[in-house]
A and B are shown apart, each in its own frame.
Chain A
Amino acid sequence: MITLEHVSKTFTSHGQTVTAVDDVSLEVGEGELHVLIGPSGSGKTTTMRMINCLETPTGGRITVDGRDVQTMNVVDLRRGIGYVIQQGGLFPHFTVADNVAVVPRLLGWPRQKRRQRAEELLALVGLPPELFADRYPRQLSGGQQQRVGVARALAADPPIVLMDEPFGAVDPITRKQLQRELRRIQAEVRKTIVFVTHDIAEAFLLGDRIVLMAEGRIVQNATPADLLRNPADPFVTSFIGEDRGLRSLRFTSLAELAGPAPPGARPNGMILPGTLSILDAGRELAAHRDAAGDGIWVGDTTGQPIGYLTFQQFATVLGESLGDDAETPHDETAHAIHH
């Protein structure tokens, strides 16, 4: 777990003082991925770099697993924290496998074990070791280099990983792919991750929480769903952008929407799991029109009904979220509702 308590950082250069981070408090729980997002210069990188002591706070306190990072040996601290940067920062004179195994090497692992670990991780990030292990970074594409960067951060199996725009330098398609892979990897390895990005879609895709920063301060720190439903102020709304409604469908679950069933009513059609997002529920309904009953029955994980909403209610939520500019895939969904 990482905590920041009233952390500030001011830089002084050429007689000018810049407050990069201003009274930031944050708590990143075990196994959670928190996204720091905000305009350029809002202090995201500085906030992150104070966690592994690459910058020293000018105020406040940062702890990792309860220990004040200032009191820890920086080298040991950093070896226990994975670190990925946008520019990649791969060592051009090391092979891919050696790059991945830098921290294990610093930790004194034997050569054999390092190699084995590097190959494991290359496979994990989708780079077949037999093709990539012995190449040099300059022989890789940008996207492949960023995969190596992620593999390198995970090599010594650190509980914490810091990622500063790790997918910033690749084309949108590769980026989407890398994001999906990171989600898959995170589901597998469950690290405590602080992730910096400029890309709001990336934030929603990856974040357990999204921390929106501006001018060194936290504007809002919320789950993706909360951010969509209760944006703290117009800045947040504008930052989240146009397709906010569509996104909120993805982050609102059926269970949150369902009310109690009308007295005496019993399920007479399929029961949808409450964990399903509105968007997925719509898809599900569209796919199984015939199996739907009088209303939408919502169940728990064992299939026991826990709630109910009418098609009208469901359609209203969809309609509100999608507005007039609903995209084609959802027309189908809305259509199914009004059968």
Chain B
Amino acid sequence: MFDDLAASVTFIQENQERFLELLTEHLQLTILSVVIGLLIALPLAVIASRIELLAKPLTWLAAIGQTIPSLAILGLMLPLLGTGFVPSLFALTIRAILPIFLNGYVGIRATDPAIVDAARGMGTGNAQLLLMVELPLASPVIFAGIKTATVQNIGLATLAAFIGGGGLGDLILQGLAMVDAPVLLAGAVPVALLAIVAELGLGRLQRVVVPAGLQSATQ
């Protein structure tokens, strides 16, 4: 095992350029999918929290979507979008939408009704209520959704390799195909490390993003 690890370090050193390229792709897939997912999921969560009629179907859809295996999504994408980076990004984005949407919806709905009532009674408009009260108050929960999506997509991005989307999954696939443990580890270990770094890094970021008055409540 340690031999394999040492060998994979050597492999990375020898193939530095390719490794960095795959790492960059991996990060691009992850970050872009989460950012796009956030941009889609948050408005959906707001809509669901506002229009009671849509809330049920949307949460159902999200919950069902969550249970479809990622490989199946990739497979379904294949005939529609073909292979490469874009379909991979597409599939990952769908995966990112789900946790962010669910957390966003639940977070907004969980706003203390007394606070909403006070805010309305003081004359906040709809947008002000959302931006000044509901989203900041939901931000710890929304942030948790973003964290889940990010860590999850760092792992899922390895599957992009199946449809030529690149990323560190390439090394894993190659290692599997050639039964070459060091190459496989050169892909898998950095992915695991990335997930840990993301988890810790986002935890730090949360302390910056979440309003100070809510901090102790979220710790």
User: Which A residues are closer than 8 A to B by beta carbons?
Assistant: 52, 54, 74-79, 81, 83, 85, 87-95, 102-103, 106, 136-138, 152, 162
Knowing A89-B114, A93-B211, the reply to whether A138 touches B217 (Cβ < 8 A) is yes
Which chain B residues lie closer than 8 Å to A94 at the CB level? 213
B79 adjacent to chain A (CB < 8 Å): no
Check B123 against A89 for contact (C-beta < 8 Å): no
Check A83 against B122 for contact (C-beta < 8 Å): yes
Nearest 3 Cβ contacts at the A-B interface: A89-B118, A78-B123, A93-B211
Which chain B residues lie closer than 8 Å to A78 at the CB level? 120-123
B124 adjacent to chain A (CB < 8 Å): yes
Q: How many A-B residue pairs have CB under 8 A?
A: 72
Which chain B residues lie closer than 8 Å to A88 at the CB level? 114, 118
Could you give 21 example pairs across A and B, Cβ below 8 Å? A54-B117, A77-B123, A78-B121, A78-B122, A79-B122, A85-B114, A85-B121, A89-B115, A89-B117, A89-B119, A92-B115, A92-B213, A92-B217, A93-B136, A93-B211, A93-B213, A102-B119, A102-B122, A136-B212, A138-B213, A162-B121
Main secondary structure of the interface of B (DSSP, over half): helix
Check B213 against A103 for contact (C-beta < 8 Å): no
B214 adjacent to chain A (CB < 8 Å): yes
- Closest chain B residue, CB of each to CB of A52: B121
What's the Cα separation between A74 and B114 when bound, in Å? Answer: 19
Check A54 against B120 for contact (C-beta < 8 Å): yes
Check B213 against A95 for contact (C-beta < 8 Å): yes
B137 adjacent to chain A (CB < 8 Å): yes
What's the Cα separation between A76 and B120 when bound, in Å? Answer: 11
Check B125 against A75 for contact (C-beta < 8 Å): yes
Check A106 against B120 for contact (C-beta < 8 Å): no
- Interface core residue of A76, A136, A152 (most chain B CB under 10 Å): A136
Knowing A92-B214, A95-B213, the reply to whether A85 touches B124 (Cβ < 8 A) is no
- Closest chain B residue, CB of each to CB of A94: B213
Check B120 against A93 for contact (C-beta < 8 Å): no
Other A-B contacts than A93-B137, A93-B212, A95-B213, 5 sampled, CB-CB below 8 A, are A83-B121, A89-B118, A91-B115, A91-B119, A106-B123
B219 adjacent to chain A (CB < 8 Å): no
B10 adjacent to chain A (CB < 8 Å): no
What's the Cα separation between A79 and B119 when bound, in Å? Answer: 10
User: Which B residues are closer than 8 A to A by beta carbons?
Assistant: 112, 114-115, 117-125, 128, 132-133, 136-137, 211-214, 216-217
Check B122 against A106 for contact (C-beta < 8 Å): yes
Check A92 against B120 for contact (C-beta < 8 Å): no
Check A103 against B114 for contact (C-beta < 8 Å): no
- Interface core residue of A75, A79, A93 (most chain B CB under 10 Å): A93
What's the Cα separation between A75 and B125 when bound, in Å? Answer: 7
Check B125 against A137 for contact (C-beta < 8 Å): no
Partner of B137, one of A81, A87, A92: A92
Check B123 against A103 for contact (C-beta < 8 Å): yes
What's the Cα separation between A136 and B114 when bound, in Å? Answer: 17
What's the Cα separation between A85 and B212 when bound, in Å? Answer: 24
What's the Cα separation between A102 and B124 when bound, in Å? Answer: 9
What's the Cα separation between A326 and B132 when bound, in Å? Answer: 55
Whole-angstrom distance from the CB of B12 to the nearest CB of chain A? 45
Which chain A residues lie closer than 8 Å to B119 at the CB level? 89, 91, 102
Whole-angstrom distance from the CB of A72 to the nearest CB of chain B? 11
Whole-angstrom distance from the CB of A179 to the nearest CB of chain B? 21
Which chain A residues lie closer than 8 Å to B115 at the CB level? 89-92
Whole-angstrom distance from the CB of B117 to the nearest CB of chain A? 6
Whole-angstrom distance from the CB of B206 to the nearest CB of chain A? 14
What's the Cα separation between A339 and B185 when bound, in Å? Answer: 105
Knowing A88-B114, A95-B213, the reply to whether A75 touches B123 (Cβ < 8 A) is yes
- Interface core residue of A74, A83, A103, A162 (most chain B CB under 10 Å): A83
Whole-angstrom distance from the CB of B82 to the nearest CB of chain A? 46
What's the Cα separation between A83 and B125 when bound, in Å? Answer: 16
Whole-angstrom distance from the CB of A121 to the nearest CB of chain B? 14
Check B122 against A103 for contact (C-beta < 8 Å): yes
Which chain B residues lie closer than 8 Å to A92 at the CB level? 115, 137, 213-214, 217
Which chain B residues lie closer than 8 Å to A79 at the CB level? 122-123
What's the Cα separation between A90 and B211 when bound, in Å? Answer: 14
Knowing A102-B122, A136-B213, A137-B213, the reply to whether A85 touches B117 (Cβ < 8 A) is yes
Which chain B residues lie closer than 8 Å to A54 at the CB level? 117, 120-121
What's the Cα separation between A48 and B123 when bound, in Å? Answer: 16
Which chain A residues lie closer than 8 Å to B211 at the CB level? 93
Whole-angstrom distance from the CB of A257 to the nearest CB of chain B? 43
Whole-angstrom distance from the CB of A12 to the nearest CB of chain B? 16
